[in-house]
Amino acid sequence: MMLSRLLLLGSSGLALIAPMALAQQTEEGRPTFLGVIDLEFGENPTAPLEGPVARSAATTKTGTPIAETPVSVSVVPRSLIEAQGAANLAEALTYSAGIVAENYGGDPRFDSLYLRGFNLENDKFLDGLRLMRSTQYPTSAPSFELYGIERVEVLRGPASVLYGAGTPAGLVNLVQKRAQADGDFTELGFGADSNGSLALYGDMNRVVDDRFAYRITGKLGNQRTDVRDIDNERAYLAFSASYALTDATELEFMASRHDDAPISPTGVPNGFVGIYDLDDLRDFDFADPSVNSSDRAMTTLSFGVTHDFGTGWKLNGTFRYTDFDWTYRNIYISGNTGSIVHRGVIDQDEHFDSLAFDLRLAGSLTTGAIDHALTFGLDAQRFNEQATTAFSATDDIDYSRPAMAT
- Among residues 153, 148, 110, which one has the least CA distance to residue 128? 153
pLDDT of 34: 66
pLDDT of 263: 86
Instruction: For CA atoms 290, 110, 107, 199, give the dihedral sign.
Output: positive
- Among residues 111, 105, 106, 137, which one has the least CA distance to residue 125? 111
From CA 25, how far away is CA 10, in angstroms rounded?
20
pLDDT of 134: 73
Q: What is the pLDDT along the chain (406 residues), one digit of tens a residue?
A: 343 333 333 333 333 334 444 444 555 567 766 666 655 556 788 888 777 778 778 888 877 788 888 889 999 999 999 999 898 899 999 999 999 887 777 778 888 889 999 988 889 999 999 988 876 666 677 889 999 999 999 999 998 888 888 889 999 999 999 999 999 999 999 988 888 889 999 999 999 999 999 999 999 998 877 776 677 889 999 999 999 999 999 999 999 999 999 888 888 898 898 888 888 888 888 888 888 899 999 999 999 999 999 888 999 999 999 999 999 999 999 999 999 999 999 999 999 999 999 999 999 889 999 988 889 999 999 999 998 999 998 889 999 887 645 4
Cβ 362 vs Cβ 143: under 8 Å: no
From CA 176, how far away is CA 196, in angstroms rounded?
27
pLDDT of 401: 80
- pTM of the prediction? 0.83
Ramachandran quadrant class, 107 (left: phi over 0; alpha: psi -120 to 50; beta: rest): beta
Q: What angle do CA 387, 390, 392 make, to 5 degrees?
A: 170
From CA 353, how far away is CA 300, in angstroms rounded?
10
Q: What angle do CA 360, 41, 66 make, to 5 degrees?
A: 55
Cis peptide before 138 (omega within 30 of 0): yes
Backbone angles phi, psi at 292, to 5 degrees: -65, 135
Q: Quote the longest CA-to-CA distance of the chain.
A: 108
How many residues are listed for the chain in this entry? Answer: 406
Q: Are strands 118-119 and 370-393 parallel, antiparallel or unpaired?
A: unpaired
Locate the domains of the chain by residue range: 1-42, 58-176
From CA 32, how far away is CA 168, in angstroms rounded?
54
Cβ 172 vs Cβ 120: under 8 Å: yes
Helix/strand/coil for 117: coil
Q: Are strands 170-176 and 124-126 parallel, antiparallel or unpaired?
A: parallel
pLDDT of 5: 39
DSSP 169-230: TEEEEEEE----SS--EEEEEEEE-TT--EEEEEEEEEE-SSSEEEEEEEEEEEEE-SSTT-
CATH label, 58-176, candidates 3.40.640.10, 2.170.130.10, 3.40.50.12280, 2.60.40.10: 2.170.130.10
DSSP 213-281: EEEEEEEEEEEE-SSTT-EEEEEEEEEEEEEESSSSEEEEEEEEEEEE---------GGGBTTB-HHHH
Three-state SS letters, 61-86: CCCCEHHHCCCEEEEEEHHHHHHHCC
- Among residues 228, 101, 96, 208, which one has the least CA distance to residue 156? 96
